[in-house]
Structure 1
Amino acid sequence: MQSRRTRRLEIVGTAVAAVVALVVALNLVGVPVRPPFWPGGAQGSNPFDAAAVHVDPQSQAARAAASAAGDDARILGRLAATPTAVWLTPEATPVGVVEEHVRRIAVQARDEDSVALFVLYGIADRDCSGQESAGGLPPDQYRDWVQAAADGADGIGTSAVVVEPDALADAGECADPDERIALLEDAVTSFVDADVTTYLDAGHSGWVAPEEMAGRLEQAGVEDARGFSTNVSFYADDATERAYADAVADALGGGHYVIDTGRNGNGSDGQWCNPPGRALGRAPSVGDGRLDAHLWIKPPGESDGSCGGGPAAGTWWTERALELARAAGW
């Protein structure tokens, strides 16, 4: 019996062949058709090879830069110009809003030949271990919200998504881990079916052992995705995190990954919530081998939570942004 992945790849392959034939025919008769499309479908190649991540002109960093002055304005302006993921939460973009919100960003990215990078963050019992970002949607509402988000990107240029930071890493501490894994598998399916390059989050090097994480990723359908993400909202240095990601990939028998390097310039001291003495990390860039890219997934100026002297999780914190930037020599 064929696996679900094999059947999907056969369908994608047939569709890609048809699209290629159509593009060639249209160009031959003088109707220009511009890329992007990927041989093998959205999961088949690295979307960051040929394009940078889209810069959202309406980001919190951009708004902070517009209201700053002097050297603060210079630093915040540079921060705002650095390609960073756009987070989707049901609190900020509910089901009636999220589709159009995603579509707006996807269209902007398509028109400038960049990659629209999203982070999905609204699963039921969200942040069940840390509680700083507690919330999310009940399962049925979550599925509807996820589908609306995927629909917003469907058929529009080049998009990628990181699915639910920490959701697999803290699944063992949540009330219903089986339901959580089922929700993640459904989310992966929604975005894969919408031709959005999909990375399922795998926590970070200081949390779950690679073999255990690989097992959880497999349960959540990573075989249908492009791969996984690590270090989202954490501070582990590049070498430590890449070693962890490679170990996870080895346990999976292969796969690709992206690493969040937005705030790991000084590495980790073991703390995760607004630890002192940290710095901005490596700028977003394409990777090599199994590493698709170094990305800024967590916006560096957003708080981890009310611990460490910060405002609520996800709230823009100008003082923190400037501290991280100056520690990195900006």
Structure 2
Amino acid sequence: MGKWLAVLLATASFAACSGDNGGDGGEGGAAAGTGAGTPTSSGVGAGTPTSSGVGAGTPTSSGVGAGTPTSSGVGAGTPTSTTASTAAGGNCAGVDISTADGNPFVGAQLFVDPGYVAKVQSSIDKTTDETLKAQMKKVQQISTAFWLDRIEAVGQLSAHLDKALELQNATCSPVTSVIVVYDLPNRDCFAEASNGELRVEEGGVQRYREEFIAPIKAILAAHPNQRIVAIIEPDSLPNLATNLGKKDCTPETEKAYREEVAHAISELNMPHVYQYIDAAHSGWLGWPDNQTKGAQIFSDVIKAAGNPAGVRGFATNVANYTQLKYTTESYDQQSNPCFGEYDYVNAMATALAGVGLGDKHFIIDTSRNGRGNIRDDWGYWCNNIGAGMGERPKANPGGATRLDAFYWVKPPGDSDGVGQAGQPRYDLFCGYPNADTRAPQAGVWFHEYFVECVKNANPPL
């Protein structure tokens, strides 16, 4: 226990920072616009990791906030005064997991997925450069999301949360775990690389509810003394704003997306679960028309779900490369007023306020947005060559309105999609000039790409 606990406590601090506006764009399905709100491509689909599991590896923690909150917060998804028992072992009589202001990232350690630690270790074992190995070891201490991208992955969730509770009880301070709920019927309707296992015409809606959401709900309910952040269905509702009538984005798909996202956020509405609905990124919904469409869709779905208090806000740039602020890029801005994720969050906050959602907060995925000038077009999203890890997870980073945190939603190193034409689930974007065509299937560990993301990290590791 002593050695393990020493590793757990070797963590970085959650520090607030300031920022300004601007940026570049593109992701596992970014949509670049060619006019006022007209995207040329979309689909976050590729860029979606398979569940990393709870494999071998030592769980660590990153981001210790400024002390343990002493009062319960007010607002969506804020627990009122919940304590963690020592059921999973540890020395604490109880840990208060309530929040002062409703932000689940404040005053908490971020749980590091042991499965991701093991993947990184596989790259360390292949590396001889000592400097590079040291940088990779730093990545093993950074929290990444646990992806529930298929029914089978749900079976690993309970053990994952048990490990987080064990850490919480060992350190006597709140631990926040982040999961991604990602298995809608007709998933990623505008992409090819990450189409899911469920089809609407094959009973996918019923299976989604009974075999996916229901067991997730049961597992989350069985872990009431932990802060859990749930990122809801990347690449779903934004497709309804820009891609209806294209590829697999049919009326049947639209109905399933609207109803099943509403079902998910309603079923997972619990005091200790903080939900952030996927809201694309600046290179997709950055145009004013797209912002308006997206905000209205979000409002409709949240209302259909009964306005659950657990919906804290929205997640942007999931699995994408859009930088936080403006940098000179080689592609045309294409009349998009949002030059980066700070701009986009500010603009989307305004659009959401216009439909009665002015109280919502945001998180930005910064896992691979550290470098600009890596694409010919900001709609290019698949394993972009030259990408680097971005800002580390941190609470209240500043730079945009109601920004709860930077977080690594996409585990760097998991492939966006297979890069060889003719392979199953091949997407044309994975063969474009800026894509690394050595890539394996979406979600499979891509060692060579991970190495480059480490080398190009900005800030450096």
Q: CA deviation at 1:149?
A: 1.4
Query: Which one of 382, 388, 394 corresponds to residue 273 of structure 1?
Result: 382
Q: CA deviation at 1:38?
A: 3.6
Give 3-state SS (helix, strand or coil) of 1:162's partner: strand
Give 3-state SS (helix, strand or coil) of 2:367's partner: coil
TM-score by length of 1: 0.83
What is the aligned partner in structure 2 of residue 3 from structure 1? none
**Which piece of structure 1 moves more, 225-234 or 77-86?**
77-86
Tell me if 1:142 matches 2:204. Answer: no
Query: Which one of 139, 147, 153 corresponds to residue 79 of structure 1?
Result: 139
Tell me if 1:291 matches 2:403. Answer: yes
Alpha-carbon contact 2:113-2:160 (below 8 Å) kept: no
Alignment length (residue pairs): 305
Q: CA deviation at 1:136?
A: 3.5
Q: Distance in 2 between matches of 1:300 and 1:202?
A: 20
| Structure 2 CA distance for partners of 1:167 and 1:10, relative to 1, 3 Å | closer
Q: Deviations over 1:256-315 (max 9, x none)?
A: 010001100113631100111221111111124500000000001111101231111111
1:96-245 to 2 correspondence within 5 Å? 97-98=155-156, 100-108=158-166, 110-111=168-169, 112=171, 113-137=174-198, 138-144=204-210, 145-154=212-221, 155-171=224-240, 172=244, 173=246, 174-175=249-250, 176-193=253-270, 195-208=272-285, 209-221=290-302, 223-224=307-308, 225-239=311-325, 240-245=340-345
- Name the Cα RMSD after superposition: 2.8
**Which piece of structure 1 moves more, 158-167 or 282-291?**
282-291
Could you tell me which amino acid in structure 2 is paired with residue 49 of structure 1?
V
**Which piece of structure 1 moves more, 156-165 or 293-302?**
156-165
| Structure 2 CA distance for partners of 1:118 and 1:184, relative to 1, 3 Å | same
Structure 2 gaps of 5+ residues are 1-73, 85-91, 199-203, 326-339, 419-429
Q: Distance in 2 between matches of 1:314 and 1:11?
A: 32
Give 3-state SS (helix, strand or coil) of 2:284's partner: coil
Alpha-carbon contact 2:226-2:272 (below 8 Å) kept: no
Q: CA deviation at 1:322?
A: 0.8
Q: Distance in 1 between matches of 2:214 and 2:168?
A: 21
TM-score by length of 2: 0.61
Q: Distance in 2 between matches of 1:273 and 1:122?
A: 20
| Structure 2 CA distance for partners of 1:276 and 1:220, relative to 1, 3 Å | same
Q: CA deviation at 1:119?
A: 0.8
Q: CA deviation at 1:108?
A: 4.0
The 4+ residue runs of structure 1 with deviation greater than 4 A are 9-13
Q: Distance in 2 between matches of 1:149 and 1:215?
A: 28
Q: Deviations over 1:48-98 (max 9, x none)?
A: 11113211122253442563343343233222221111111225415xx25
Alpha-carbon contact 2:394-2:406 (below 8 Å) kept: yes
Query: Which one of 57, 68, 93 corresponds to residue 126 of structure 2?
Result: 68
Q: Distance in 2 between matches of 1:11 and 1:298?
A: 25
Give 3-state SS (helix, strand or coil) of 1:199's partner: strand
Q: Distance in 2 between matches of 1:117 and 1:57?
A: 13
Structure 1 gaps of 5+ residues are 1-8, 24-30
Q: Deviations over 1:181-221 (max 9, x none)?
A: 11001111122236310000001111122222111211221
Alpha-carbon contact 2:370-2:390 (below 8 Å) kept: yes
Q: Distance in 1 between matches of 2:266 and 2:233?
A: 14
Q: CA deviation at 1:105?
A: 4.5
What is the aligned partner in structure 2 of residue 300 from structure 1? 412
What is the aligned partner in structure 1 of residue 70 from structure 2? none
What is the aligned partner in structure 2 of residue 326 from structure 1? 455
Could you tell me which amino acid in structure 1 is paired with residue 369 of structure 2?
N
Q: CA deviation at 1:117?
A: 0.5
Alpha-carbon contact 1:261-1:296 (below 8 Å) kept: yes
**Which piece of structure 1 moves more, 108-117 or 237-246?**
108-117
Could you tell me which amino acid in structure 2 is paired with residue 141 of structure 1?
R
| Structure 2 CA distance for partners of 1:123 and 1:108, relative to 1, 3 Å | farther
Q: Distance in 1 between matches of 2:124 and 2:267?
A: 37
Query: Which one of 331, 348, 351 corresponds to residue 248 of structure 1?
Result: 348
What is the aligned partner in structure 2 of residue 27 from structure 1? none
Query: Which one of 22, 33, 58 corresponds to residue 115 of structure 2?
Result: 58
Q: Deviations over 1:207-254 (max 9, x none)?
A: 122222111211221853100000001111112112112211111112
What is the aligned partner in structure 2 of residue 37 from structure 1? 98
